[in-house]
Structure 1
Amino acid sequence: MGGARFMTGMLLLFMALSSGVRSCPPSDRAALLAFRAALHEPYLGIFNSWTGADCCHNWYGVSCDQETHRVADITLRGESEEPIFERAHRTGYMTGYISPAICKLPRLSSIIIADWKGISGEIPRCITTLPFLRIVDFIGNRISGSIPADIGRLQRLTVLNFADNQISGTIPASLANLTSLMHLDLRNNLLSGPIPRNFGSLRMLSRALLSGNRLSGPIPGSVSLIYRLADLDLSRNQLSGLIPQVLGKMAVLSTLNLDFNKLSGPIPLSLFSSGISDLNLSRNALQGNIPDAFGPRSYFTALDLSYNNLKGAIPKSISSASYIGHLDLSHNHLCGKIPLGSPFDHLEASSFVYNDCLCGKPLKPC
């Protein structure tokens, strides 16, 4: 009988010790609660589950490493199809700020605090001390201040998304040290100054989205060194100078948006025989003729050259393009007869209006 009690006691002790090992450390739990204390979420109650000793178990948006039982991921999205959102029939709204307490989670791999609309304050400077960070996503808030100058310390970072906030200052030069970065999204902020000259060091990058800021200066030619870059959006800035010819020689670049800038000079010939299928150069100060450089490799779902200072005739080689879906040449100084046949047979007059002397279908006869 006594032996049975002893065995039961040992079993209970073993279970207690095991559960203690499997739960998150008190320091991680304390850091999460300090992080939560800086935020106010009034409608969904997403933090109601943040109770109990084990923050690795059933805490909404928190997941832990299975081996170390340290907090590895915080994923809090204000727009989601999860049941808690469907029951409330609304998207999320949260105020407060992102507490530096998250920096007391040394094994943090990803932190996603996205689309809460009301979170303000600054990016905690200390996030650059978290060596295992792979994903930082703060899109869709009201975060202000600048990007930490030493952001380049995060050598494992693959996703950096600060889009749709109120972040100001310049793009730190150290950003170019993020050699594992695949996705960079800084759209719709208040960033100013130049794009770092060594931007081309981001060799793993596939998407670079910097539109809707106040960036100035030239487009660095080093961008062409990013072999994997498929999507480059620099639109709605104050960039000036020439469009680098080398952009048209990039292996996988398919989307190039440079509209609403102050770019000048001629359009590089290389852009029309490249793999770019979505090209928007509208609302700049581009000059000269539209290059007579179209051919069978020219395949455009959209080609927008409107609102520039282009002159001369529409090049005849444009008819040899394999496909042009949407074409806009309006608001330039083009002259002469609009070519017949594809792609012109499906275009409307709005593609050609406000030029000096274009004529032919779909405009007035020559």
Structure 2
Amino acid sequence: MGLDEFKRLEKLEFLDLSGNQLSGSLSFKELKLESLKVLNLEYTNFNKLSDVEALTSLKALSLYDIGINDSSVLQGICSLKNLHELDLSRNNFYGPVPMCFRNLTSLRLLDLSNNILSGNIPAALITPLVHLEYLSLSGNLFGDLEFLDLSKNQLIGPLPACSELTSLKFIHLHHNMISGPISNMLSGSFNLMTLDLGYNKLSGGIPRYIGKLKELRVLLLGGNELLGHIPLHLCQLQNVTIMDLSQNKFSGPLPTCFNKISFGSGQFSNDAFFTYDPSFGESESFPGYPGSHFLAMEIRWSEYYKIFSDQENVIFTTKSRSERYAGNLLNFMSGLDLSCNQLIGAIPPEFGDLRHIRALNLSHNYLQGSIPSRLSMLNLVESLDLSYNNFSGEIPSELASLNFLSIFNVSYNNLSGRVPDTGEFATFDDSNYRGNPGLCGPLLKRSCNPFAPHPENVGDQDIEVDGAIDVATFYWSFFASYMVIVISFVVILCVSPYYRRAWSFYIDYWILSRFYEYCGSRSSEKKQTWKVFNWNLRRR
């Protein structure tokens, strides 16, 4: 039976040609197998398959070990929207995985193992495959893989225990359901620059090998179930600019060695952009001007300016909102987020050495002691959140020198004393200081002098006090309401004879009941009262 005989089988749904010596080319458009649902070509020798997109009803396709290297087949497969199972393993497909595979939204099984595939695996390729249950990419050339993004999927189970991804630079696995400890999966990835495992179900501590990833710039482990003390080997990550350990179960004191981490100090200093070069001689424009030397302004870019890939982007919470930093913007951002843990103790004075950090969040912990005045050395900080802790004492007035500070929150602590009201602090409102009854100052409309008169008692100042009541207005409104009720009652009695008789009866009844009570014969006289009541009604 030749392949041409299949042209008569337009209703054919299952076709298994595996284990034959069929070779040459095969055009599915000519076979007219529009109803075909399962096609198995395992162990055949076809060197060309064309018009695969003609199999519009296909749900399962296996090209296992047919030795084909025609990558155009992959483009045709991208049109098979009903495909549930796809096995392309043990072939010679090369190059990157086609991005059009994201169109196969019904896929449950995808096996691309043992080919010559290479390149990166972005999240945009895997994320649309919401029904995918099995994915195999082993045995390819992903040893040169630099960018891996499988974030926002439903990946479950532990991290694989492998250390062969030596060229990997960026890995994003955030917002999955990965559980268990952080394995040695990346122990050999010494070129790693971004490690994003946030918002999973990882537990245990941070392994020691993380401290040996000297090229690491971004470490995002927030939103997991990590516990124990924050390990000191994180201080070996001297090139890190963004670190997020928030929403975990870390306990113990803050490490005093965090000042060894750059948090941006290796990127751009205040004079990193413009430097003066006095090597230029006398000005040609003004030759007659004595000693006229132009100081040539030279743009000197940091060595890290081109360090992040254009497709690299991370999400980091700063200024009370989550921001996305992509590409070269990452070179201008630095931050440390340790919020929502169980940290105790005081803020180490060494935190004041993080002079290039732009966001520092220590909120929702059990930190105590005073706020170090050395935090005034955080010259570039834009967001400083110390809320929901147990800090006491005064807010250091030196913090008013932080010229870039736009978010400052110390609410719900035990702070006291005067609130700074100069510099950027003049722009903050009382919401930044809630839950600190000991704080005072003009910004809080609370005098720091316990003997000072209350603002509403000061006659020569027009001060509006929330909740104040005008006593005269209160009395007049009460009297007017009372008169309205009385007049309405009188009008009802005048207009309605029924209510007038009922009112007269209740008055008589009340007078008689009080009289009999006074005479001491309450039980017997009540019956007599009802007789009088009935007699009065009959008389009326």
TM (norm. structure 2) is 0.51
CA distance in 2, matches of 1:98, 1:306: 48
Matched residue SS, 1:118: coil
Q: 1:70 matched to which residue of 2? A: 94
Mapping 1:252-271, distance limit 5 Å: 252-253=263-264, 254-271=334-351
Quote the Cα distance in structure 2 between the aligned partners of 1:302 and 1:72: 41
Q: Does residue 110 of structure 1 match 2:110?
A: no
Matches of 1:341 and 1:352, distance apart in 2: 16
Deviations 1:35-86 (A, max 9, x none): xxxxx9xxxxxxxxxxx97325883999xxxxx97223454697xxxxxxxx
Residue type of the partner of 1:284?
Answer: N
Inter-CA distance 211–109: structure 2 relative to 1 (3 Å threshold): same
Once residues 262 and 120 of structure 1 are traced to their aligned partners in structure 2, the CA distance between those partners, rounded to angstroms, is 38
Q: Deviations over 1:92-116 (max 9, x none)?
A: 89465574x2332344232224443
Q: Name the amino acid aligned to 1:262.
A: Q
More RCO (CA 8 Å, sep 6+):
1
Q: Which residue of 436, 441, 454 corresponds with 1:355?
A: 436
More displaced 10-residue stretch of structure 1: 327-336 or 191-200: 191-200
Partner of 2:294: none
Contact 1:295 1:322 in 2 (8 A): no
Give the counterpart letter for 2:447 in structure 1: P
Contact 1:121 1:144 in 2 (8 A): no
Matched, 1:169 2:193: no
CA RMSD of aligned residues (A): 3.4
1:137 to 122, 132, 149: 149
Which amino acid in 2 is paired with 1:142? Q
What is aligned with 2:353?
A: 273
Residue deviations 1:180-231 (CA, integer Å, cap 9, x gap): 1111111111111111123111111111111111111122222222232111
Structure number with bigger Rg: 2
Q: Residue 320 of structure 1 aligns with which residue? A: 401
Supply the distance in 2 between the matched residues of 1:360 and 1:181 (Cα, whole angstroms).
Answer: 49
Inter-partner Cα distance in structure 2 for 1:225 and 1:352: 36
Structure 1 residues 127, 290: closer, same or farther in 2, change over 3 A?
A: farther
1:365 paired with 2:381, answer no
1:187-336 map, 5 Å: 187-253=198-264, 254-274=334-354, 275-295=356-376, 297-336=378-417
Taking a change above 3 Å as real, the CA distance of residues 122 and 243 of structure 1, as seen in their structure-2 partners, is: farther
Change (3 A) 1:69 1:270: same
Greater mean alpha carbon deviation, residues 337-346 or residues 172-181: 172-181
Q: Residue type of the partner of 1:173?
A: N
Question: Does the 8 A contact of 1:213 with 1:237 survive in 2?
Answer: yes
- SS of 1:323's equivalent? coil
Q: Is the 8 A contact 2:194 2:216 kept in 1?
A: yes
3-state secondary structure, aligned to 1:192: strand
Amino acid at match of 2:119: S
Shift of 1:340: 2.6
Tell whether the 8 Å contact from 1:74 to 1:111 is kept in structure 2 after alignment: no
Q: Which amino acid counterpart does residue 114 of structure 2 have in structure 1?
A: K
Is the partner of 1:362 in helix, strand or coil? helix
On the 8 A contact 1:123/1:148 being kept in 2, the answer is no
- Cα distance in 2 for residues equivalent to 1:291 and 1:357: 18
Give the Cα separation in 1 of the matches to 2:340 and 2:194. Answer: 23
Could you list the runs of 5+ residues in structure 1 that have no partner in the other structure? Answer: 1-15, 17-25, 34-39, 41-51, 63-67, 79-91
Question: Which residue identity does 1:334 align to in structure 2?
Answer: L
Change (3 A) 1:73 1:305: same
Contact 1:56–1:71 (8 Å) recurs in 2: no
1:178 corresponds to: 189
Q: CA 1:128–1:280 in 2, change beyond 3 Å: closer, same or farther?
A: farther
Q: SS of the residue aligned with 2:233?
A: helix
In 1: Cα distance, 2:436 partner to 2:77 partner: 55
The range that moved more, 289-298 or 332-341, is: 289-298
Say if 1:164 and 1:249 are closer, same or farther in 2 by CA, change over 3 A: same
In 2, are the aligned partners of 1:243 and 1:267 still within 8 Å (CA)?
yes
Secondary structure of residue in 2 paired with 1:243:
coil
Judge conservation of contact 1:120–1:143 (CA < 8 Å) in 2: no
Residues 128, 359 of structure 1: alpha-carbon distance in 2 compared, 3 angstrom cutoff = farther
Structure 2 portions without partners, runs of 5+ = 1-23, 25-44, 53-58, 60-67, 79-91, 265-333, 449-540
Contact 2:357 2:378 survives alignment (8 Å): no
CA distance in 2, matches of 1:157, 1:194: 23
Matched position secondary structure for 2:240: coil
Give 1:358's aligned amino acid.
L
Query: How far is 1:285 from its partner?
Result: 0.9
The equivalences for 1:41-120 within 5 A come to 54-55=70-71, 59=75, 70-75=94-99, 94=105, 96=107, 99=110, 101-114=111-124, 115-116=127-128, 118-119=130-131
Identity %: 30
